[in-house]
Amino acid sequence: MIFDTHVHLNVSDYTADQDQVFRRAREAGVGLFLNVGIDMEHSRAAVQFAEKFDNVYATIGLHPHDAQNFTEAGFNEIKELTKNKKVRAIGEVGLDYFRNLSPRDQQMNVFKRFIQLANEVHLPLVIHSREAYADIYSTLRKFGSRHQGVMHCFAGNKHDLEEALALGLYISFAGPVTYKKNHELRELVAMVPSDRILVETDAPYLPPEPFRGKRNEPAWIVETLKKMAEVRKTDFTTISQETTQNGKRLFQI
């Protein structure tokens, strides 16, 4: 069984063919899904969606792009949603210094609030970082020496990887590891300890080769796993089992 640890199942991209998407995922061996919230509306919907399926779980949070839309009322609603048994993580939260769709000070303030919440309710973090690894790590250290959570769709360098591992974080890889020019990223895939590596699609975004330019979907996680197995000099079954067991351990499934 394959565990897609980061997917956006309840977005409008899947409205027309949701049943077929699930069927293709099942046929590909994908049996678990972590459906990720990115704002209040999507977090609420992610929980409602997860409640419909035994093999779907949810995360709740506020993406750094939307940090400027943070409200205390919304935060309190997310805090209340942590009581739902299908909620297994706080996220997707973090910092994005590439697009800067929200001011950096607001991104940081919101990120700190969600770190505090994760610590309070004993849930792992699903962390988004783009050109912000140093600030992500320094902020986490202010709240403790080690953390439960994952660097989602990891795209940093060797130093960034080492820092994440030192903090106790898991490392998740997505479709970009299959892209022809991402040689350094594939080298990092080979360096992650077998008990700290995860796989995801981030669907409907970031489709792997040979599907670039198309809407991503969970079934295509197989292509990412094949490439991960290749660079780690292991087999498909082993990497599938390792990533699934790691995801179940981190998200308490």
pLDDT digits (tens, 9 = 90+) for 36-49: 999 999 999 999 99
Q: Of 26-35, 144-153, 226-235, which gets the smallest average pLDDT? A: 144-153
Kindly report the CATH class assigned to 2-250.
alpha beta
What's the rounded Cα separation, in Å, for the pair 172 and 126? 10
What's the rounded Cα separation, in Å, for the pair 229 and 116? 36
Determine the pLDDT at residue 145.
Answer: 78
Determine the pLDDT at residue 112.
Answer: 98
Statement: residue 146 has pLDDT above 90: no
Is pTM beyond 0.85 here? yes
Determine the pLDDT at residue 100.
Answer: 92
